[in-house]
Amino acid sequence: MWPFRNRRRFPTKLGTPLCAFSKHDKFTLGDATEGILVQGASGAGKSSGSGKMLAHSYLSAGFGGLVLCAKMGEYKLFESYCRAAGRLKDLRRFAPSQPLRFNFLDYELNRKGLGAGLTDNIVHLFCEVMQIAERQSGQGGREDEGYWRRANRQLIRNAVDLLIMAKGRISVPDLYRLVISAPTSLEQVGSDSWQQSSLCCKCLDEADSRPKTPQQQHDFEIVTDFFCLEWPALSEKTRSVVQSTFTSMIDVIHRGVLAELFCGQTNITPEAIEEGTILVVDLPVKEFAEVGQFAQVLWKSAFQRSIERRNLAKNGRPVFLWADEAQYFITAYDMQFQTTCRAARVATVYLTQNVSNVYAALGGGDQGKAQADSLFGNLNTKIFHANSCPVTNEWAATLIGRSRQFLTNASSNHQPENGSNNFWGLQSAPNTSAGVSEHIDFEVQPRQFTTLRRGGPPRCEVDGIVFQGGRRFRQTGKTWLPVTFRQ
C-alpha cells in the first residue's frame, strides 16, 4: 500500500514511486507526468489491466483528475476505483441528471489571473469544439480550408469583443443573436429598420457609450470597422459560408443538454480538480454521440488551459487527465499541451486500440499523421497489449527498435551412393557445415504482440510490453519490459 491514501497528502518529488512494473522497476511521479499511451485491441485488457493499475496508483497518491467517458459504465468503474482508494468523497459526476454546471464563457471571462477575459482564450474554446464539428461533418482537407478557419475565428473574435465591451458579459445565445443580426450590406448599415431591430447595432451603440481605456478604444474601432465595413462588403457566398460555419457549430451548444450544462450558472470549475476532485464527465459518446464529444472536449480544453496557468508553489498537487477511447477526444492542441504538462504536474493517460484510430481522428493524411506522431512522441511511456492491427504492431516494433542479433546455422548431407563403394562395403562420408550469421532485426517482432494474453478466467492475467524512452529497465537491461498485470 502506498502512503498517500489521504487526499490531504500527495507526492511532490518527481522520484516518488507510485507503483511498480517489476520488483526492480518502479513507476514514479516523474514518469507519470511524462504521459502514457496504452494500446491494445478491444478485449485485450488495457482498461482492466494496466489501466486499472495506473488509476489505482494515481487515486491512492491523492491526485485530482478529469475523466472523459466514451463508453457506458465509465462512471461506475471510477466509482469502484475511488472506493477502493478511499477517495469516494472526492468523486463528482458531471451529467444532465446531476446538479453540477459549468458556464465556460463566464468562467474564462471572470476567472483569476492576468490573462482573464482575453478574447483569444475564449475563441480557442470555440475552435476546439469546431474541430469535433468538422470531424462529424467530414469537412477538412480542402485547399482553402485555412482561409475559412481564419475567417470563422475573425468573426468569433469580433463578436466576443463586442459583447464584452457592450454588456460586460458573454453568453452563447447572445453570440448567436449578434452574428445573425449583423448587417449583410453597406446599405443596411444606414437603414432605420436594421438599427432598431439588430442586436449587433444595439451592442455597437452600448459599447460606444461606455468609458474605455485607450486599448479598448482601439479594439472598439477594429470591431466597428469589421461589422460596419468589412463584414457587409464580403460577397454573399463568402459571408454565408462563414456565418453558416459559425451558427452550425454553436447550434448544438445553445440548445438542449449542452445549454443546460454550459450556458447557465457555474458551481464547479477546473480549479476543483487542482484541489483533489475526481471529476467524471459522464456523457459517454456511445450514449450522447456528438453532444457527449462536445461536452468533454470543452471540459478538456478548459482543464488544460487552467492547469497550465496554476502556481505550483501554492498548490503542487498532481492531477491526471484520463481518456479511454481517447481518439474521440484528441484535438490538435493536445500536442502543445503535452510538451509542457510535466511542469504543471499533469499525468495524461490515453487509451486507444491502435495508432490508425488517432491518425483518422486528426483528419488523416500527412498532417493528421504528423500531429498524431507528435502526440505519441510526447507520451513517453507506452504500454502495448494484445493487438491484431499490423500497422500498430509494426509501429510498436519499430519504436522499440532493432539490435544486432546472431543466428547459428548447421547443415549435413550425404553424397549419393555409388556402385564402387557399395561393392567394397564402404559408406560415403557426410558433408557437414556450421556457422554464425550477424544481422540487425527487431528486438520484439510484430507477431509477438498478437500472442500476448488478454486476461479473463481462470488466471485473470493480462500481458503487456512496456516501453519508456530514455530508460533501461533493470529487469531486462533494455528499454522495454514484459509485464503481467492482474485484472
Write the burial class of residue 259 (CB in 10 Å: 0-12 exposed, 13-18 middle, 19+ buried): middle
Residue 55 near residue 80 (C-beta atoms within 8 A): no
Q: Distances from the Cα of 463 to the Cαs of 80, 383, 487, in angstroms?
A: 23, 10, 10
Q: Can you read off the three cell numbers belonging to residue 102?
A: 459549468
Q: Alpha-carbon distance 80 to 279, whole Å?
A: 14
- The per-residue pLDDT for 115 is 65
The CATH fold of domain 17-99+273-399+448-486: Rossmann fold (3.40.50)
* For the chain, domain boundaries: 17-99+273-399+448-486, 104-257
- Please name every residue paired with 298 in a beta bridge, in sequence order, or none if there are none: none
Confirm if 440 and 404 have CB atoms less than 8 A apart: yes
What per-residue confidence (pLDDT) applies to 403?
Answer: 74
Dihedral-angle region of residue 464 (phi above 0 means left; psi in -120 to 50 means alpha; beta otherwise): beta
What does the alpha-carbon distance between residue 338 and residue 361 come to, in Å, rounded to a whole number? 17
Element (H, E) at 300: helix 285-309
Question: Whole-angstrom Cα distance, residue 366 to residue 371?
Answer: 9
Residues of the chain with pLDDT under 50: 1-7, 140-143
* Angle (deg, nearest 10), helices 119-137 and 145-167: 140
pLDDT of residue 2: 39
Contact 37, 376 (CB under 8 A): yes
Which residue has 469546431 as its cell numbers?
Answer: 130
The reported pLDDT for the residue numbered 478 is 93
| Best CA proximity match to 118, nearest among 151, 157, 155 | 157
pLDDT in tens, 97-115: 999 999 988 888 888 776 6
Alpha helix segments (H runs only) across 231-284: 231-233, 236-251, 256-262, 271-274
Predicted model pTM: 0.86
Longest dimension (CA), the chain: 126
The pLDDT of residue 3: 42
Work out whether strand 381-384 and strand 461-468 pair parallel, antiparallel, or are unpaired: antiparallel
Distance of CA 473 to the CA centre of its chain: 28
